[in-house]
Protein backbone atom coordinates (compact mmCIF):
# COMPACT_ATOMS: atom_id res chain seq x y z
CA UNK A 1 0.00 0.00 0.00
CA UNK A 2 1.33 3.44 -0.94
CA UNK A 3 0.45 5.98 1.63
CA UNK A 4 1.25 9.09 3.61
CA UNK A 5 2.34 8.72 7.21
CA UNK A 6 1.44 10.82 10.24
CA UNK A 7 3.54 9.92 13.26
CA UNK A 8 2.88 10.89 16.85
CA UNK A 9 5.84 12.18 18.85
CA UNK A 10 5.11 12.74 22.52
CA UNK A 11 1.69 14.31 22.83
CA UNK A 12 1.87 16.12 19.49
CA UNK A 13 0.99 14.96 15.99
CA UNK A 14 4.30 14.93 14.15
CA UNK A 15 4.36 14.79 10.40
CA UNK A 16 7.78 13.72 9.30
CA UNK A 17 9.67 13.23 6.09
CA UNK A 18 13.06 12.69 4.65
CA UNK A 19 13.98 15.73 2.62
CA UNK A 20 14.72 15.28 -1.03
CA UNK A 21 18.35 16.14 -1.50
CA UNK A 22 21.34 15.54 -3.67
CA UNK A 23 22.56 12.81 -1.35
CA UNK A 24 23.09 9.50 -3.08
CA UNK A 25 24.16 6.12 -1.73
CA UNK A 26 24.43 2.51 -2.81
CA UNK A 27 22.83 0.85 0.20
CA UNK A 28 23.44 -2.90 0.18
CA UNK A 29 24.54 -3.19 -3.46
CA UNK A 30 28.01 -4.70 -4.07
CA UNK A 31 29.23 -2.13 -6.59
CA UNK A 32 32.63 -3.83 -7.03
CA UNK A 33 30.87 -6.87 -8.49
CA UNK A 34 29.12 -7.43 -11.83
CA UNK A 35 25.98 -9.32 -12.71
CA UNK A 36 24.35 -9.99 -16.09
CA UNK A 37 20.82 -11.31 -16.40
CA UNK A 38 18.34 -11.88 -19.23
CA UNK A 39 14.65 -12.35 -18.66
CA UNK A 40 11.05 -11.37 -19.25
CA UNK A 41 9.48 -8.47 -17.34
CA UNK A 42 6.61 -9.38 -15.02
CA UNK A 43 6.06 -6.05 -13.24
CA UNK A 44 7.47 -2.53 -12.92
CA UNK A 45 7.16 -0.62 -9.63
CA UNK A 46 7.27 2.99 -10.88
CA UNK A 47 7.60 4.64 -7.47
CA UNK A 48 9.83 6.82 -5.30
CA UNK A 49 12.40 6.77 -3.78
CA UNK A 50 13.51 3.99 -6.19
CA UNK A 51 11.75 2.11 -8.95
CA UNK A 52 12.02 -1.68 -9.26
CA UNK A 53 11.98 -3.85 -12.38
CA UNK A 54 10.69 -7.40 -11.80
CA UNK A 55 11.50 -10.15 -14.31
CA UNK A 56 11.79 -13.93 -14.61
CA UNK A 57 15.02 -15.60 -15.69
CA UNK A 58 14.71 -19.04 -17.32
CA UNK A 59 17.60 -21.47 -16.77
CA UNK A 60 18.84 -24.04 -19.31
CA UNK A 61 16.77 -26.75 -17.60
CA UNK A 62 13.61 -24.68 -18.00
CA UNK A 63 13.31 -23.63 -14.36
CA UNK A 64 12.48 -20.00 -13.59
CA UNK A 65 13.80 -17.64 -10.96
CA UNK A 66 12.25 -14.26 -10.19
CA UNK A 67 14.49 -11.20 -9.82
CA UNK A 68 13.90 -7.56 -8.98
CA UNK A 69 16.41 -4.87 -9.85
CA UNK A 70 16.53 -1.23 -8.79
CA UNK A 71 16.56 1.81 -11.05
CA UNK A 72 16.21 5.51 -10.24
CA UNK A 73 13.18 7.17 -8.70
CA UNK A 74 9.95 7.48 -10.68
CA UNK A 75 10.38 11.25 -10.60
CA UNK A 76 13.84 11.28 -12.15
CA UNK A 77 12.89 8.60 -14.66
CA UNK A 78 9.86 10.62 -15.76
CA UNK A 79 12.00 13.75 -16.04
CA UNK A 80 14.48 11.75 -18.15
CA UNK A 81 11.79 10.55 -20.56
CA UNK A 82 11.42 7.01 -19.21
CA UNK A 83 7.85 5.71 -18.97
CA UNK A 84 6.19 2.67 -17.37
CA UNK A 85 5.02 1.60 -20.84
CA UNK A 86 8.63 0.89 -21.79
CA UNK A 87 8.65 -1.90 -19.21
CA UNK A 88 5.35 -3.63 -19.91
CA UNK A 89 4.88 -7.20 -18.72
CA UNK A 90 6.17 -9.64 -21.33
CA UNK A 91 9.00 -7.37 -22.53
CA UNK A 92 12.35 -9.15 -22.93
CA UNK A 93 15.37 -7.38 -21.40
CA UNK A 94 19.00 -7.91 -20.56
CA UNK A 95 20.35 -6.34 -17.39
CA UNK A 96 23.91 -5.36 -16.55
CA UNK A 97 24.48 -4.26 -12.99
CA UNK A 98 25.67 -5.19 -9.52
CA UNK A 99 24.26 -7.78 -7.11
CA UNK A 100 22.76 -7.09 -3.70
CA UNK A 101 24.53 -8.37 -0.59
CA UNK A 102 21.33 -8.92 1.37
CA UNK A 103 18.80 -10.15 -1.19
CA UNK A 104 20.26 -12.77 -3.60
CA UNK A 105 17.67 -12.10 -6.31
CA UNK A 106 17.99 -8.31 -6.28
CA UNK A 107 20.39 -6.06 -8.18
CA UNK A 108 21.36 -2.51 -9.10
CA UNK A 109 20.73 -1.68 -12.75
CA UNK A 110 23.56 -0.06 -14.72
CA UNK A 111 22.36 -0.77 -18.28
CA UNK A 112 19.14 -2.16 -19.76
CA UNK A 113 19.12 -3.65 -23.27
CA UNK A 114 15.82 -4.29 -25.05
CA UNK A 115 14.95 -7.03 -27.53
CA UNK A 116 15.42 -4.69 -30.52
CA UNK A 117 19.02 -4.03 -29.45
CA UNK A 118 18.51 -0.52 -28.07
CA UNK A 119 19.91 0.13 -24.63
CA UNK A 120 19.67 2.68 -21.86
CA UNK A 121 22.26 3.42 -19.24
CA UNK A 122 21.04 4.19 -15.72
CA UNK A 123 21.30 7.95 -16.23
CA UNK A 124 20.23 7.88 -19.88
CA UNK A 125 18.19 10.88 -21.06
CA UNK A 126 15.39 10.42 -23.63
CA UNK A 127 14.15 14.03 -23.74
CA UNK A 128 15.73 17.44 -24.18
CA UNK A 129 16.95 19.09 -20.99
CA UNK A 130 15.29 22.42 -21.87
CA UNK A 131 11.56 23.28 -22.03
CA UNK A 132 10.14 23.38 -25.55
CA UNK A 133 8.49 26.80 -25.21
CA UNK A 134 9.69 30.25 -24.19
CA UNK A 135 8.21 31.86 -21.09
CA UNK A 136 6.55 35.26 -20.91
CA UNK A 137 8.54 37.21 -18.34
CA UNK A 138 5.63 39.27 -16.93
CA UNK A 139 1.90 38.98 -16.52
CA UNK A 140 -0.38 41.63 -18.10
CA UNK A 141 -0.72 43.12 -14.59
CA UNK A 142 3.04 43.70 -14.46
CA UNK A 143 4.17 41.14 -11.86
CA UNK A 144 6.88 38.63 -12.74
CA UNK A 145 5.35 35.51 -14.29
CA UNK A 146 6.07 32.61 -11.94
CA UNK A 147 3.08 30.56 -13.09
CA UNK A 148 3.80 27.05 -14.35
CA UNK A 149 5.81 23.91 -13.65
CA UNK A 150 9.15 24.15 -11.85
CA UNK A 151 11.92 21.75 -10.87
CA UNK A 152 15.49 21.84 -9.68
CA UNK A 153 18.05 20.79 -12.26
CA UNK A 154 18.70 17.05 -12.30
CA UNK A 155 21.95 15.77 -10.88
CA UNK A 156 23.48 12.73 -12.58
CA UNK A 157 26.58 10.63 -12.05
CA UNK A 158 29.64 11.28 -14.19
CA UNK A 159 29.48 7.56 -15.04
CA UNK A 160 26.23 7.20 -17.04
CA UNK A 161 25.99 3.59 -15.83
CA UNK A 162 26.00 4.86 -12.24
CA UNK A 163 28.84 2.68 -11.00
CA UNK A 164 31.54 5.18 -10.10
CA UNK A 165 32.26 8.88 -10.01
CA UNK A 166 30.01 11.43 -8.37
CA UNK A 167 26.97 13.63 -8.96
CA UNK A 168 27.06 16.78 -11.09
CA UNK A 169 24.36 18.96 -12.69
CA UNK A 170 22.93 17.47 -15.88
CA UNK A 171 23.93 20.56 -17.87
CA UNK A 172 27.59 20.05 -16.87
CA UNK A 173 28.04 16.28 -17.13
CA UNK A 174 29.41 16.47 -20.68
CA UNK A 175 32.44 18.34 -19.32
CA UNK A 176 33.70 15.28 -17.47
CA UNK A 177 35.16 11.96 -18.53
CA UNK A 178 33.26 8.82 -17.53
CA UNK A 179 33.53 8.36 -13.77
CA UNK A 180 35.53 11.56 -13.26
CA UNK A 181 35.41 13.46 -9.97
CA UNK A 182 35.46 17.29 -10.14
CA UNK A 183 38.05 19.09 -8.07
CA UNK A 184 36.89 19.54 -4.49
CA UNK A 185 34.56 16.51 -4.60
CA UNK A 186 35.09 12.83 -3.86
CA UNK A 187 33.59 9.67 -5.26
CA UNK A 188 30.29 8.70 -3.70
CA UNK A 189 30.85 6.38 -0.75
CA UNK A 190 30.22 2.82 -1.90
CA UNK A 191 30.94 3.51 -5.58
CA UNK A 192 33.12 1.08 -7.49
CA UNK A 193 36.71 1.28 -6.31
CA UNK A 194 36.00 3.15 -3.08
CA UNK A 195 37.04 1.80 0.34
CA UNK A 196 33.37 1.46 1.29
CA UNK A 197 32.70 -0.81 -1.70
CA UNK A 198 35.76 -2.92 -0.86
CA UNK A 199 34.62 -3.51 2.72
CA UNK A 200 32.31 -6.27 1.53
CA UNK A 201 29.47 -5.38 3.90
CA UNK A 202 26.28 -3.36 3.47
CA UNK A 203 26.77 0.36 3.88
CA UNK A 204 23.87 0.50 6.33
CA UNK A 205 25.83 -1.67 8.79
CA UNK A 206 28.90 0.55 8.60
CA UNK A 207 29.31 2.77 11.68
CA UNK A 208 28.24 6.33 10.97
CA UNK A 209 29.11 9.56 12.74
CA UNK A 210 26.52 10.95 15.17
CA UNK A 211 23.75 12.85 13.33
CA UNK A 212 23.89 16.63 13.26
CA UNK A 213 21.01 19.02 12.93
CA UNK A 214 20.70 21.35 9.96
CA UNK A 215 21.02 24.17 12.50
CA UNK A 216 22.00 24.55 16.15
CA UNK A 217 19.43 22.81 18.33
CA UNK A 218 18.11 23.34 21.83
CA UNK A 219 17.77 20.39 24.19
CA UNK A 220 14.16 19.99 23.07
CA UNK A 221 15.25 20.15 19.43
CA UNK A 222 17.86 17.44 19.96
CA UNK A 223 15.31 15.19 21.64
CA UNK A 224 12.90 15.67 18.72
CA UNK A 225 15.66 14.87 16.24
CA UNK A 226 16.51 11.63 18.05
CA UNK A 227 12.86 10.60 17.96
CA UNK A 228 12.91 11.03 14.17
CA UNK A 229 16.12 9.04 13.82
CA UNK A 230 14.50 6.16 15.73
CA UNK A 231 11.81 5.82 13.04
CA UNK A 232 12.74 3.08 10.52
CA UNK A 233 14.26 4.48 7.34
CA UNK A 234 11.75 2.72 5.07
CA UNK A 235 8.91 4.48 6.90
CA UNK A 236 10.69 7.82 7.21
CA UNK A 237 11.57 8.04 3.51
CA UNK A 238 7.88 8.13 2.47
CA UNK A 239 6.62 10.62 5.02
CA UNK A 240 5.59 14.05 3.87
CA UNK A 241 7.79 16.94 4.88
CA UNK A 242 7.59 20.70 5.23
CA UNK A 243 7.18 23.67 2.91
CA UNK A 244 10.96 24.06 3.22
CA UNK A 245 12.17 20.52 2.52
CA UNK A 246 9.61 19.36 -0.05
CA UNK A 247 10.00 22.27 -2.47
CA UNK A 248 13.53 21.26 -3.52
CA UNK A 249 15.07 18.02 -4.72
CA UNK A 250 13.77 15.84 -7.55
CA UNK A 251 9.98 16.50 -7.83
CA UNK A 252 8.23 18.80 -10.29
CA UNK A 253 6.23 21.54 -8.55
CA UNK A 254 3.49 23.78 -9.90
CA UNK A 255 2.60 27.42 -9.26
CA UNK A 256 -0.81 28.90 -10.09
CA UNK A 257 -0.66 32.70 -9.98
CA UNK A 258 -3.50 35.18 -9.60
CA UNK A 259 -3.87 38.63 -8.11
CA UNK A 260 -5.40 37.42 -4.81
CA UNK A 261 -3.82 33.99 -4.33
CA UNK A 262 -0.70 32.14 -5.41
CA UNK A 263 -1.04 28.38 -5.02
CA UNK A 264 2.00 26.15 -4.69
CA UNK A 265 1.59 22.45 -5.43
CA UNK A 266 4.48 20.26 -4.35
CA UNK A 267 5.36 17.20 -6.41
CA UNK A 268 6.41 15.25 -3.34
CA UNK A 269 3.18 13.51 -2.33
CA UNK A 270 1.01 16.46 -3.32
CA UNK A 271 1.48 19.00 -0.52
CA UNK A 272 -0.47 22.16 -1.41
CA UNK A 273 -0.39 25.64 0.08
CA UNK A 274 -2.11 28.94 -0.69
CA UNK A 275 -0.36 32.29 -0.35
CA UNK A 276 -2.89 35.02 0.45
CA UNK A 277 -1.66 38.06 -1.45
CA UNK A 278 -1.80 41.67 -0.35
CA UNK A 279 -1.94 40.83 3.35
CA UNK A 280 0.72 41.85 5.88
CA UNK A 281 -0.75 40.33 9.05
CA UNK A 282 -1.98 36.84 9.88
CA UNK A 283 -5.45 36.22 11.36
CA UNK A 284 -5.64 36.22 15.14
CA UNK A 285 -6.77 32.60 15.13
CA UNK A 286 -5.13 30.04 12.83
CA UNK A 287 -5.90 26.34 12.57
CA UNK A 288 -2.43 24.73 12.50
CA UNK A 289 -1.59 22.65 9.42
CA UNK A 290 1.52 21.07 7.99
CA UNK A 291 1.73 23.81 5.33
CA UNK A 292 0.94 26.62 7.76
CA UNK A 293 -0.78 29.92 6.93
CA UNK A 294 0.99 32.01 4.28
CA UNK A 295 0.60 35.68 3.42
CA UNK A 296 2.49 37.42 0.65
CA UNK A 297 3.21 40.66 -1.12
CA UNK A 298 5.43 41.99 -3.88
CA UNK A 299 8.41 44.16 -3.01
CA UNK A 300 9.30 45.47 -6.46
CA UNK A 301 9.87 42.18 -8.30
CA UNK A 302 10.45 40.01 -5.23
CA UNK A 303 7.63 37.86 -3.83
CA UNK A 304 7.87 37.91 -0.03
CA UNK A 305 5.99 35.14 1.81
CA UNK A 306 5.51 34.94 5.58
CA UNK A 307 4.23 31.66 7.05
CA UNK A 308 3.22 30.65 10.59
CA UNK A 309 0.63 28.29 12.08
CA UNK A 310 2.38 24.95 11.63
CA UNK A 311 1.77 21.57 13.14
CA UNK A 312 4.98 20.18 14.67
CA UNK A 313 6.95 18.30 12.05
CA UNK A 314 10.23 18.09 10.17
CA UNK A 315 11.93 21.10 8.66
CA UNK A 316 14.54 19.17 6.69
CA UNK A 317 16.22 15.79 7.02
CA UNK A 318 16.00 14.74 10.66
CA UNK A 319 15.80 18.31 11.97
CA UNK A 320 12.40 18.69 13.61
CA UNK A 321 10.43 21.87 14.20
CA UNK A 322 7.80 22.80 16.76
CA UNK A 323 4.51 24.68 16.39
CA UNK A 324 6.50 27.92 16.83
CA UNK A 325 8.17 27.63 13.42
CA UNK A 326 8.20 30.88 11.45
CA UNK A 327 9.32 30.81 7.79
CA UNK A 328 10.03 33.82 5.58
CA UNK A 329 10.66 33.18 1.87
CA UNK A 330 11.72 35.51 -0.92
CA UNK A 331 11.12 34.37 -4.51
CA UNK A 332 12.98 36.13 -7.33
CA UNK A 333 12.60 35.37 -11.06
CA UNK A 334 15.65 35.92 -13.27
CA UNK A 335 14.17 37.29 -16.54
CA UNK A 336 17.27 36.29 -18.54
CA UNK A 337 17.60 32.65 -17.43
CA UNK A 338 13.99 32.06 -16.23
CA UNK A 339 15.47 30.66 -13.00
CA UNK A 340 13.26 31.03 -9.93
CA UNK A 341 15.40 31.59 -6.85
CA UNK A 342 14.00 31.07 -3.34
CA UNK A 343 15.84 32.39 -0.29
CA UNK A 344 14.36 31.43 3.06
CA UNK A 345 14.84 31.86 6.77
CA UNK A 346 13.28 29.43 9.25
CA UNK A 347 13.23 30.31 12.94
CA UNK A 348 11.94 28.23 15.85
CA UNK A 349 12.78 29.49 19.36
CA UNK A 350 11.71 26.19 20.92
CA UNK A 351 13.97 23.93 18.82
CA UNK A 352 16.61 26.14 17.13
CA UNK A 353 19.39 28.18 18.68
CA UNK A 354 19.63 30.23 15.48
CA UNK A 355 17.63 30.62 12.27
CA UNK A 356 18.22 28.26 9.37
CA UNK A 357 19.06 30.37 6.30
CA UNK A 358 19.28 28.67 2.92
CA UNK A 359 18.13 28.88 -0.68
CA UNK A 360 17.33 26.87 -3.80
CA UNK A 361 16.83 27.49 -7.50
CA UNK A 362 14.13 26.13 -9.80
CA UNK A 363 14.02 26.04 -13.58
CA UNK A 364 11.00 25.65 -15.89
CA UNK A 365 10.29 21.92 -16.00
CA UNK A 366 10.53 19.82 -19.15
CA UNK A 367 7.65 17.62 -17.92
CA UNK A 368 4.33 18.58 -16.28
CA UNK A 369 3.60 18.58 -12.56
CA UNK A 370 2.48 15.35 -10.95
CA UNK A 371 2.04 14.33 -7.33
CA UNK A 372 4.45 11.43 -7.01
CA UNK A 373 3.73 8.26 -5.06
CA UNK A 374 6.21 6.77 -2.62
CA UNK A 375 6.81 3.18 -1.53
CA UNK A 376 10.26 2.29 -0.21
CA UNK A 377 11.04 -1.22 -1.46
CA UNK A 378 14.77 -1.11 -0.72
CA UNK A 379 16.28 -4.29 0.78
CA UNK A 380 16.85 -3.91 4.52
CA UNK A 381 20.31 -4.76 5.80
CA UNK A 382 20.67 -6.84 8.97
CA UNK A 383 21.56 -4.93 12.14
CA UNK A 384 25.27 -4.39 12.83
CA UNK A 385 26.92 -7.29 14.70
CA UNK A 386 27.13 -6.94 18.45
CA UNK A 387 30.40 -5.60 19.74
CA UNK A 388 32.75 -8.26 21.12
CA UNK A 389 34.57 -7.90 24.39
Q: What is the pLDDT of residue 4?
A: 36
pLDDT digits (tens, 9 = 90+) for 306-326: 999 999 999 998 999 999 999
pLDDT for the residue numbered 235: 86
pTM of the model: 0.87
| pLDDT score recorded for residue 208 | 61
Contact 199, 190 (CB under 8 A): no
Residue 261 CB partners (closer than 8 Å, separation 6+) = 274, 275, 276, 277
**pLDDT of res. 252:** 96
Strands (E), 91-188: 92-99, 106-114, 119-121, 148-151, 155-157, 167-169
* DSSP 8-state assignment for residue 159: S
Using DSSP bridges, classify how beta strands 148-151 and 356-364 pair: parallel, antiparallel or unpaired: antiparallel
What is the model's pLDDT at position 201? 58
Q: Look at the chain and count its residues.
A: 389
Closest C-alpha to 293, from 302, 301, 284: 284
Q: pLDDT tens digits, the chain, 389 residues: what are they?
A: 333 333 333 322 222 223 333 345 798 999 999 999 999 999 999 999 999 999 999 999 999 999 999 999 999 999 999 999 999 999 999 999 999 999 999 999 999 999 999 999 999 999 887 776 788 999 999 999 999 999 999 999 999 999 999 999 999 999 999 999 999 999 999 999 999 888 765 545 555 666 789 999 999 999 999 999 998 888 888 888 899 999 998 999 999 999 999 999 999 988 999 999 999 999 999 999 999 999 999 999 999 999 999 999 999 989 999 999 999 999 999 999 999 999 999 999 999 999 999 999 999 999 999 988 888 888 866 555 444 44
Helix (H, G, I), strand (E, B) or coil at 226: helix
Determine the pLDDT at residue 383: 55
Q: Report the run of H or E that residue 178 belongs to, with start and end.
A: none
Identify any residues that bridge with 44 across adjacent strands, giving them in sequence order.
Answer: 53
pLDDT at 6: 34
What is the pLDDT, as a whole number, of residue 129? 72
Amino acid sequence: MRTRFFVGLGSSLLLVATAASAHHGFGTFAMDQDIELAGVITKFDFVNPHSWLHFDVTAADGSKKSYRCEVRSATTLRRSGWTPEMFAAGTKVKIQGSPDRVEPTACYVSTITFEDGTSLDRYGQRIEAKPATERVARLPSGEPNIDGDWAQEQVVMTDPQGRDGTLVPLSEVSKYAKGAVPEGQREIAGARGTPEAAQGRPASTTPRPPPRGAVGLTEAGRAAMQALIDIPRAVRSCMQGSIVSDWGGEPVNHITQSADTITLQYGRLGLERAIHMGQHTHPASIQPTRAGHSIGWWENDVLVVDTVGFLPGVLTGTTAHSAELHVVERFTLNPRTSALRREYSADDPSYFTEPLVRGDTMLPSTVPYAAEECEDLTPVAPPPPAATK
